[in-house]
Structure 1
């Protein structure tokens, strides 16, 4: 398993700081990314977190999948590797 986590169904106002704070409840966070719309600057509704430890990543998925954030139920899964191909 990878320590990189996909988070879906994020509220559009979510920031990197919001996600970091949520996942730090589980363990140390190495990196957070919340892609934004180039025109509006609004979050696109998904993000990624890289935990410092694989065990913390597994635990975060188990604890935070279906977690309510601003009235939205998060989808938390191990991120799939992307090779950049189309």
Structure 2
């Protein structure tokens, strides 16, 4: 299951995310979203867990809990919507 994690402190690392979620089960991947221009975290991430019941437990257990001083928002990620192609800037 793909899990959305929002309201992250900018200092949170992928390893810290992996550690927080691994207490609920096996974490397949943790992907912190980074701004291309600044190289800084955008304040959200996606965590993939292979077992759905473990993922549900992680969502219930971690939603609205503090991680590095901020209460994180954790829920099942929605499928990515198709977006129109970007037009080049001139």
* TM-score (norm: length of structure 2): 0.87
Count of residues paired in the alignment: 84
Partner of 1:16: 14
- Superposed, 1:1-86 pairs within 5 Å as 3-86=1-84
Task: Please identify the structure whose Cα radius of gyration is greater.
Answer: 2
Question: Aligned-pair distance for 1:15?
Answer: 1.3
Q: Which has the higher strand share?
A: 2
State the alpha-carbon separation in 1 of the partners of residues 38 and 81 from structure 2.
28
State the alpha-carbon separation in 2 of the partners of residues 52 and 74 from structure 1.
21
Question: Aligned-pair distance for 1:29?
Answer: 0.3
State the alpha-carbon separation in 2 of the partners of residues 29 and 53 from structure 1.
9
Question: Aligned-pair distance for 1:81?
Answer: 0.5
* Contact kept? 2:12, 2:68, Cα under 8 Å: no
* TM-score (norm: length of structure 1): 0.91
Secondary structure (helix, strand or coil) at the match of 1:21 reads helix
Would you identify which runs of 4 or more consecutive aligned residues in structure 1 move more than 3 Å?
Answer: none
State the alpha-carbon separation in 1 of the partners of residues 39 and 51 from structure 2.
31
Task: For structure 2, list consecutive stretches of 5 or more residues without a partner in the other structure.
Answer: 85-90
